[in-house]
Amino acid sequence: MNLQCRIELAAKYKAGSQIARVLSEDWCTRELYCPACDSDHLTGSKPNNPAVDFACATCEQPYQLKSLSHWNPRKVVDAGYEAMLRAIRADMTPNLLILQYSSSWLVRNLLLIPKMFFSESVIEKRKPLAPHARRAGWVGCNILLSEIPSDGKIAVISDGVPVLKEQVREEFSRVKQLAEVPPSLRGWTLDVLRAIRRLEKPEFSLQELYGFESEMKSLHPQNQNVRPKIRQQLQVLRDVGLVSFVSPGSYRLRT
Ligand SMILES: [Zn+2]
């Protein structure tokens, strides 16, 4: 994998954001493979959905690219808040690629968030644009990367070193069954998975997960039955192959 973007493509453009977009999109179509199947190419794809920058011609997985020169591992700015919530509820979010480039246009980091990991819990509403702004009152959102469980943050390039393609595909494949969980339920599934990850151990108990009860209540204020919901989501996580049941009340993360 050649990590250098083609700097000569920048000559036609003036705005920094436009240059970043052109160079990084060109890099992806040249160097990037599909993490979801064994296709070694992604193709540029715009006409139907403005949120989709690339698609895989083989498995049809959609990808959106965000390119940045500064890397904030906690959050990334996204588009409109309401549009994002609609996309999550309709299960229409693309997989997200976050690309960080260096001052010499080398790809330094590339992080893949599989689309199943976008839930309302990881979307932060931003302040409406000020009255004098061109789009006054418009409300954008941030994607809270810190709230996404590690299972949903797949490094493709890490500190200037490409991760093995086989490993990236294996990590994607490990979580792909989450797509079978309906989006109305998946927010809960991901919240429970994130709680499990925060325990930072491979084996855990139901009692330990109940420790997140009040936090989950505040994420889902309309739901009063948090404990049964946690137990139900453990079954969902078992069915999609991410958790195994060891004995009553005790569980193990599958890797
Ligand atoms: Zn594919």
Give 53-82 pLDDT, tens digit per residue. Answer: 999 999 999 999 999 999 899 999 998 999
**What pLDDT, in 10s, does the model give residues 143-169?**
999 999 999 999 999 999 999 999 999
Q: How far is the CA of 242 from the centre of ligand 1 (A)?
A: 22
Share of the chain above pLDDT 90, in %: 91
**What pLDDT, in 10s, does the model give residues 198-217?**
999 999 999 999 999 999 99
Element spanning 158, H or E:
strand 154-158
- Say what the pLDDT of residue 167 is: 98
How are beta strands 62-68 and 95-101 bridged, if at all? parallel
Residue 46 confidence (pLDDT) above 80: no
Read off the pTM.
Answer: 0.93
Give the C-alpha separation, 4 to 101, whole Å.
9
Residue 50 confidence (pLDDT) above 80: no
Share of the chain above pLDDT 70, in %: 99
Q: How far is the CA of 168 from the centre of ligand 1 (A)?
A: 13
Enter the tokens of residue 20: 């970043």
- Where does the pLDDT of residue 47 fall: very low under 50, low under 70, confident under 90, or very high at 90 and above? low
Q: How far is the CA of 232 from the centre of ligand 1 (A)?
A: 32
| Residue spans of beta strands (DSSP E) within the chain | 43-44, 54-55, 62-68, 75-80, 95-101, 107-113, 123-125, 140-144, 154-158, 161-162, 203-205, 243-247, 250-253
Q: How far is the CA of 169 from the centre of ligand 1 (A)?
A: 10
Q: How far is the CA of 62 from the centre of ligand 1 (A)?
A: 9
